[in-house]
Amino acid sequence: MVPAARGGSSPAAMRHLLSVNDLGSEGLKEMMRIADFFVEISTRPIPKVPALRGKTVACAFFEGSTRTRLSFEAAAKRLSADIMSFGASGSSMSKGESLKDTVTTIESLGADVIVVRHASAGVASQVASWVSIPVVNAGDGWHEHPTQALLDCYTIRQALGAESFQGLKVVMVGDLMHSRVARSNVLALSAMGARVNLVAPRTLWPVSLDGWPVEGITCDLDPLLEKADLVYLLRLQTERGAGRLLPSLREYAAMYQLTARRAAMMPKDSLIMHPGPVNRGVEMSSEVAEMPGALVGSQVANGVVVRMAVLYQLLVGGEGVGVLDPTAPDVAPAPAALRSAGVHHGAPGPSDTSSDSTPSTRSTPRTPSTRRSAGA
């Protein structure tokens, strides 16, 4: 057992988000509290506030993505930022332009933050050394995917209704060798107090467990299920060569797929998660994916509010969360129209009345405590 995630800096002082270690346990908790402020916005008929108006978020995705890219874009839009979207194909990279020239061009075009995904580990840090604006790692090769870990922690916190995961028994199953989600989640879950055990065929174990704060690792899934509070399934990263390390997908599924039979071995009310995209019939059966304890849909939905929190924190976080709290003394009071609509408790306080955000006409204030049903 090695120590959990390093302390990290306070989110207010955070310059980039490259690793879960940039946050540490206090940073993770603080980010989740900031995300709570954004849940209310996401339930409005027009889910938008002017917090990042005038800022430009560049999404530079050099590797495929559905959820992460769309949720960063949705997060930026809900905060009224402009978006520059970049994919490697169709860009000047296909003419031989280097990664460095590409990202510095994005900065010169006026981006205020770059969200980067790339198939190679370490690219996000490399980009951070080339530009003077904040960088968010949206997945770098086998290395890390910190916003996935953050949204997963947010989803678990929502399901448990608890701030700490002390003693939560997590079994993480699948392609531990190639999964950046595994690495970021092990750091984050252990920092939050969970006890993590890893399960995979021997050929898919990480090369070393140095820096993995886990209780143990095994090839044998079934004996762990009866005590698991949460089973976290990882996608087989066939694009990174996982298929070549297995006799066959059928054999993998026979040993490691979470089927209804295996799910029945888990304690009642235990949770099932997967970062998506799910290979149904490989990591989990369709039946399990539809079970009430399966949180895959909530994970996706929560991706938007936690990414709003990350963008907000990196771009205006120096001003503190206080600016989101209209009850704080240094914040302009919420416009009368918002106050009379009851949109002020725990909700971000759009101090800019010329916003294109539309106040809710609900008479009952929504607070972060409604997040369970908010769908974020």
Q: Which is nearer to ligand NCD, 237 or 257 (CB)?
A: 237
> Are the C-beta atoms of residues 200 and 175 closer than 8 Å to each other?
yes
Task: Annotate 46-96 with DSSP letters as a single string.
Answer: S---STTTT-EEEEEESS--SHHHHHHHHHHHHTT-EEEEEESTTSGGGGT
Q: Which of 78, 118, 145, 183 is catalytic?
A: 145
DSSP-derived pairing of the beta strands 135-140 and 113-118: parallel
User: Is residue 16 among the annotated active site residues?
Assistant: no
In whole angstroms, give the CA distance from residue 221 to residue 200: 8
Q: Which is nearer to ligand NCD, 33 or 67 (CB)?
A: 67
In whole angstroms, give the CA distance from residue 138 to residue 264: 34
Q: Which is nearer to ligand NCD, 80 or 237 (CB)?
A: 237
User: Is residue 95 among the annotated active site residues?
Assistant: yes
**In angstroms, what is the minimal distance from the CB of 175 to ligand NCD?**
8
In whole angstroms, give the CA distance from residue 353 to residue 356: 8
Which whole-number Å values give the CA distances from 66 to 54, 102, 300, in the listed order? 26, 22, 10
Cα angle 94-127-125, degrees, rounded to a multiple of 5: 130
Phi first, then psi, for residue 296 (nearest 5°) are: -55, -45
Q: Which of 48, 55, 117, 307 is catalytic?
A: 117
Q: Which of 95, 202, 244, 268 is catalytic?
A: 95
User: Is residue 169 among the annotated active site residues?
Assistant: no
User: Is residue 118 among the annotated active site residues?
Assistant: no
Q: Which of 29, 48, 56, 68 is catalytic?
A: 68
Amino acid at 335: P
Q: Which is nearer to ligand NCD, 176 or 315 (CB)?
A: 176
**In angstroms, what is the minimal distance from the CB of 348 to ligand NCD?**
26
**In angstroms, what is the minimal distance from the CB of 170 to ligand NCD?**
17
Q: Which is nearer to ligand NCD, 145 or 307 (CB)?
A: 145
**In angstroms, what is the minimal distance from the CB of 236 to ligand NCD?**
8
- Please identify the residue of the shown chain whose CB is closest to the bound ligand NCD: 235
User: Is residue 117 among the annotated active site residues?
Assistant: yes
CA atoms within 13 A on the CB side of 76: 25
Q: Which of 53, 67, 77, 345 is catalytic?
A: 67
Binding site for ligand NCD (CB under 6 A): 67-68, 139, 145, 148, 180-181, 235, 237, 275-276
**In angstroms, what is the minimal distance from the CB of 142 to ligand NCD?**
10
Phi-psi region of 2 (alpha: psi -120 to 50; beta: other; left: phi over 0): beta
Q: Which is nearer to ligand NCD, 239 or 319 (CB)?
A: 239
DSSP-derived pairing of the beta strands 216-218 and 195-199: parallel
Phi first, then psi, for residue 264 (nearest 5°) are: -70, -15
**In angstroms, what is the minimal distance from the CB of 52 to ligand NCD?**
22
Catalytic sites, residue numbers: 67-68, 95, 117, 145
